[in-house]
Structure 1
Amino acid sequence: MSTYGAVASRSRPGVKKGFMPFASAVRLLRALFDIPAREPADYPFVESDQARLQQLCHEPGRHAVDDATWSDLMLGQYHAVLSQEVSIFGQQALYQRLREGAGADAGRSLRSLVDAPAQIDAQHLACKPLRHADQEIATLLFAPEPTSLPIWAGKTWCVPFLLLGSMAAAILWSPLAWLGTGALLFFLMSNQVRYGQQVEQWQRTMLALQMLLRVASETSHRDAAEAARVNRALTRAPASLLVPGLRSYQDWFALTNVNHYFHCTQVVQAHLPLLRATMLRIADWEADIALARHLRATPRFCWAERASHTALTLRGMVHPLLPAAQALSLELAGKGAFISGQNGIGKSTLLRTAGLNLIAARAFGFCYAETARVPDLPIYCSMQNDDSLLRGESLYIAELRRASELLAAADGPHPGICIIDEIFRGTNHLESVSAAASVLDVLAQRSLVLVSSHNLVLASLLQHRLDPLCVSREDGALTLSPGVLAHTNGIRLLAERGFGPAVQSNAGKVFDWLNGYLAHPADSAGVLG
């Protein structure tokens, strides 16, 4: 639950059958004159906007997926798939769940909704106005900046009369009255310049907030009437729209737009608890609808069951971002896994598939598999370490930094599942094996570890910590079975990629010489334990 969970009722609201009178009148007029409703633009929000709710409502001490894991598991791309035809509110709720998980409530509200397609369609349609919002408002509601009212706020209605009076006085009595006219014009123009940009930005923010309140007012929630009342308080009087150009004259000669800006800031401040609760409720509601629509279009998924912290079962799992993904099964009981396989066989894809399914189970309560029993543990990945010119890091230094982060997490308050691909590839073979064996030996004592490597000697060195599993292809299908890769293909790929027989022959000679020393050492099983 978020920091402001105490003020929010996160139950999914239903759609009210009797809508507000004004909204009903608008719909009636559109139907009579065959005026189509304006389609939402689905504004392309950047990740920093999508992340604001999670950042502002994050509870200290609660684990959140770190940036390296987010990137390694391609969770940004996954979030984009889930967010199709979803407003910024639903996008922020989905992002928050992916980053922090949903705890024991994961998937609870989805189970009944996903089996009701008519209800999904109706609620998706009810949320459609939210997609007109082109501003995120979590910052406004959860980190508001205090606004100080100028002394003249709300009192400029008389300025047009004073302006006319000063002009009349200058014409009828004394030219000195033009000084008063100039002073009034300076007051009007200087304040338009001073506040104009803020007002324009605020108008876009109010559009988003009013879309939220409009949808909230049309639900059956107990706060619907109050949401409608606040929405009306934020709306400028529509009478000025009846006369062309009247609103512009009001803005320039009475600062009506600036006064409305200050009025709205006070309304928002006065109703922050309601607005926060409404946003959390509607955002979660829309997120549930998006997930239900996603699952309706997903050929393979199951509800995840909880397992102990040292057990994991994912039978027939697939990756949702791969359209023709082959299903694989992974089962662990008491120990992690050392995964081997030929080049290009799909070891990295397997790790990403397992990682994303574990994230989906924590966030949403389901997995892309036939059956799933998974622990409710944080996920940490080390898969795409690269050298950095800006940070002055070589590849190996970057790998060491990430490995130290995983060890620190294992010793911290949130130990979890560590997914590591090609550990320590940035240094020479001997030191790579030595460092990897030592780090993994310590890490596997404190966390559940899934690691892949072409350094097959690690399998025997770590067999007391990790079960060896091999990815192979049998009759065109991928399988994951106990054991270590027996037949490598790195040298064969030299010929397939056009390096020529001489290069392949010499590489084979070196391989044969090294093979007896490193690939199958007779006494390595007792080196570490």
Structure 2
Amino acid sequence: MEPYTLILLCILVMAYILIRLENRRDSRNGKKALLRQSFGAIPQRENRDYGGIEYDWDFEQTNLSEQEQIDEITWNDLEMDAVYLRVNNCRSFAGEQALYTALHRLSQDREAEEALRGKIRYFGEHETERERATYLLHCLGKEHGSYYLPVFIRNLKGFEIPNIQFYRFMRGLLFCSFLPSALLLDTRYLVFPLFTALANLVIYSFQKYKYSANLSMLRATLGAIRTARLLSDHGKSGGGESFPDLGELAQRFSRSARKIMRLNTREQSGLSGDLFSLLNAYLVGVTLSDFIRYNKLLRELDGRKEDLLALYQRVGEIDMAISVASFRASLPHWCEPSFAEQDSPCRLEVEELYHPLLSHPVSNSASIRRSCIVTGSNASGKSTFIKAVAVNVLLAQSIFTCSAARLTLPRTGLITSMALRDDILSGESYYIKEIHYLKRIIDSLTPEMPTVCIVDEILRGTNTQERIAASCAVLRYLAKHNCLAIVASHDIELTQLLERQYDNFHFSEQITDGGITFSYKIHSGPADSKNAIRLLEYMGFPEEITREARELAQPRG
């Protein structure tokens, strides 16, 4: 080859390498720019299956009392799946699971609370460090199978390859089968290692599928360890000084990470398709060595299971903290909650409170010093208000962020009875289902911790006379048993019967010839107007209907 041809080839190779490096850098910078722009923006719903985010919560809830968690009925009543997606700006599977778990839990751990508050503030205030950490978490990603990692970590023994002693025996037999040929210098005895190698290859082929599936969990584990190490490296993320425990946890798994990397490298090379890689993969397969190393690695990880789980959760908390900081930046206004002393009366003080899912919300302020009934005409805003109160009680005690200018509350449980409907499959009527929901509320009350109880249209599934009587008795019971009940109702009679136990608030509207106007602002006292028939008129119902309705609505002499 001519010298100038060799020089030209070297130049072309170098140019190719430089172009590839430049493209990679441009791609990385482009991703960083998109991540930077997404902070403080309302998250776009991703078109994907969100199954798996609940796996961590499924374990965590078993360690909590009923008062420390949000039950499924309350979660659905408050449309918390939609609230979760509104908050969720996480970049990794660990962050999404941490956020899902946090929103189901009413925090009682003061130390953990202060740690999370500190992380949220840190990333809200330090833009450079936040962007570096966000990129590292983005690299960890949201591969669908990775959401199974909490299950994998907690049950490492269950993922071991069974009968490993048999595989050890077959590997030993393979090596021993060469002895007759080596000692007697007779190639005819090579039939023994050949037969053993074929047997091992069959065993390897049958077991490889399960092994490869489990190895994907080890890759997710490796990703979490690497991300933890980089997040704790001040030079990489800027967070090392703030999260020293993360670096210590990552260091404990440095050897395990190298072992996972070696197993993964061999697995990936076997999938590459080239002849040498395939031969190497099957050579390792014949010895069954990877199965043995895999089981040994799982036992090693199982011995430090709690540390590994803590590492995974710390990584998730950092991603969640950045997501919550972004959520705060996306709101019209927000505050951190103020918690009243434990022995203080159960009351809520809210200023400029609104529902975080509304794009153009109307804020409301109220001092709820004891249980209350919220009345008002149809569509005036009372259900939205009580739901906003409930959602903010949850957000205050889970991610310590409220869609309000100020919120003061006690450490409290939260339970609701709102979005009821007939259940045809179970054969339960609306009323039967409602009294089940109310009984669950009564059963949840404890003298140790107050409970905020939100009820929308109590006992509307039965006749008026019994509804008023039963509702009155139930609400009196709630008010006497360490419960701050906030009830939306059309039954004005309840405001009179319960005036000694319950305060009253109301929403109202104005109907003119030009239409109907709702202010969506809360006022003290019970509602003094009714608009059901007037709304029929406004919507153009025949005069025959509205006239008869007015006549029937007149009090009888």
Q: TM-score range by the shorter chain?
A: 0.7 to 0.9
Which SS does the other structure have where 1:448 is aligned? strand
1:115 aligned onto 2:125: yes
Cα pair 1:339 1:452 within 8 Å, conserved: yes
The equivalent residue for 2:88 is 83
Per residue, is there more helix in 1 or in 2? Answer: 2
Question: How far apart in 1 are the matches of 2:65 and 2:522?
Answer: 37
Q: How far apart, in 2, do the equivalents of 1:310 and 1:301 lie?
A: 22
Q: Show structure 2 runs of 5+ residues with no match.
A: 1-16, 36-45, 233-239, 241-246, 511-516
Distance in 2 between residues matched to 1:410 and 1:158, nearest whole Å: 64
Distance in structure 2 (CA, Å) of the matches to 1:451 and 1:265: 53
The one-letter amino acid of 1:226's match is: R
Q: Distance in 1 between matches of 2:196 and 2:502?
A: 81
| Cα-to-partner distance string for 1:2-41 (whole Å, 9 max, x where unaligned) | xxxxxxxxxxxxxxxxxxxxxxxxxx9998353346989x
Shift of 1:255: 3.7
* SS of 2:141 mapped into structure 1: helix
Structure 1 contact 318–353 (Cα < 8 Å) conserved:
yes
Partner of 2:165: 151
Q: Cα RMSD (Å) of the superposition?
A: 3.4
After superposition, the C-alpha distances for 1:372-429 in whole angstroms (9 at most, x for unaligned) are: 1122201111001222123221100001011111111124654400000011111111
Distance in structure 1 (CA, Å) of the matches to 2:396 and 2:384: 18
Out of 364, 389, 396, the position equivalent to 2:424 is 389
Tell me which residue corresponds to 1:340: 375
184-193 vs 499-508, greater mean Cα deviation: 184-193
The range that moved more, 214-223 or 138-147, is 138-147
> Equivalent of 1:209, from 184, 205, 221?
221
Distance in 2 separating the partners of 1:249 and 1:127 = 35
Task: Report the identity percentage.
Answer: 21
Asked if the contact 1:166/1:180 (under 8 Å) is kept, the reply is no
Distance (Å, rounded) in 1 between the aligned partners of 2:140 and 2:396: 27
Q: Is it true that 1:61 corresponds to 2:65 in the alignment?
A: yes
- 2:211 aligned with 1:199: yes
Aligned with 1:279 (options 312, 315, 322) = 312
Matched residue, 1:421: 456
2:177–2:196 Cα contact (<8 Å) kept = no
SS at match of 2:248: coil
SS in 2 for 1:301: coil
Letter in 1 for 2:354: V
Post-superposition Cα deviations, 1:218-262, rounded to whole Å, max 9, x if no partner, equal 213233333333211212264784944345424653445534532
Correspondence 1:135-150 to 2 at 5 A: 135-136=146-147, 137-146=149-158, 147=160, 148-150=162-164
Deviates more, 1:152-161 or 1:288-297: 152-161
TM-score, scaled relative to structure 2: 0.78
1:212 is matched by which residue type in structure 2? A
Alignment of structure 1 residues 356-505 onto 2, 5 Å: 356-411=391-446, 414-446=449-481, 447-473=483-509, 477-505=519-547
**1:73–1:356: 8 Å Cα contact kept in structure 2?**
yes
Corresponding residue for residue 225 of structure 1:
251
Deviations 1:121-158 (A, max 9, x none): 22212222221443221112234444355114467667
Is the CA contact 1:153–1:262 (under 8 Å) kept in the aligned structure 2?
no
Residue aligning to 1:316:
352
Q: Distance in 1 between matches of 2:294 and 2:486?
A: 55
Quick one: distance in 2 between partners of 1:132 and 1:71? 25
| Higher mean displacement: 366-375 or 133-142 | 133-142
Number of residue equivalences: 481
Structure 1 stretches of 5 or more lacking a match? 1-27, 517-529
> Aligned partner of 1:72: which letter?
D
Q: Show the counterpart of 2:384.
A: 349
Counterpart CA distance in 2 for 1:423 and 1:310 is: 22
Separation in 2, partners of 1:439, 1:76? 30
The Cα of 1:452 is off from its aligned counterpart by: 0.5
| Larger displacement relative to structure 2 (392-401 or 273-282) | 273-282
Cα distance, 1:163 vs structure 2? 9.3
C-alpha displacement at 1:357, in angstroms? Answer: 0.7
- 1: CA distance between counterparts of 2:307 and 2:287? 31
1-structure distance, mates of 2:538, 2:178: 88
Change beyond 3 A, Cα 1:29–1:441 = farther
Matches within 5 A, 1:23-42: 32=21, 34-35=23-24, 36=27
Alignment partner of 1:368: what SS?
Answer: coil
Tell me the CA shift for residue 73 of structure 1: 0.9
C-alpha contact (below 8 Å) 1:312/1:332 kept by paired residues:
yes
SS at match of 2:102: helix
Matched position secondary structure for 1:464: coil
Task: Name 1:4's counterpart in structure 2.
Answer: none
The answer to which of 29-38 and 145-154 deviates more is: 29-38
Q: Give the Cα separation in 2 of the matches to 1:250 and 1:214.
A: 29
TM-score under structure 1 length normalisation: 0.81
Rounded Cα–Cα distance in structure 1 between residues aligned with 2:450 and 2:213: 43
Distance (Å, rounded) in 2 between the aligned partners of 1:80 and 1:157: 51
Query: After superposition, what is the alpha-carbon deviation per residue over 1:314-355, rounded to whole angstroms, capped at 9, x for unaligned?
Result: 11111111111111122112x111001111112211111111
- Distance, in Å, in 1 between the alignment partners of 2:394 and 2:555 is 44
Greater shift, 480-489 or 228-237, is seen at 228-237
Name the counterpart of 1:326: 362
Partners of 2:544 and 2:127 in 1: how far apart? Answer: 63
